[in-house]
Amino acid sequence: MGEQGLPENDRKFLAFGLRFEEQFLNQATSRTLEESHGGRLVALRGLPRTELARLSDAQIKRHLTEAPNA
């Protein structure tokens, strides 16, 4: 089947898993709590907003809305 045969939301979750591993779990050097938190938030950005049920609209707006120049 391959990745291309998956529904779009499933591909987003697959991409999230890869980003989460790369940016949050794999830690080549020490980092601060704030740096770890930032990596986790970047990983969440690619998920559909409807799937972020445990975050409030205010949290999504504050932490997950990408900057215009990003």
The pLDDT tens digits along the chain (70 residues) read 688 899 999 999 999 888 888 877 777 788 888 877 776 777 788 888 888 899 899 988 887 876 544 4
Residue 7 has a pLDDT of 92
The answer to whether the pTM exceeds 0.85 is: no
What one-character-per-residue DSSP string does 19-53 give?
Answer: HHIIIII--SS---HHHHHHHHHHHHTTS-GGG-T
pLDDT of residue 30: 85
For position 69, what pLDDT does the model report?
Answer: 45
Query: ∠ CA(30), CA(33), CA(39), 5° rounding?
Result: 85
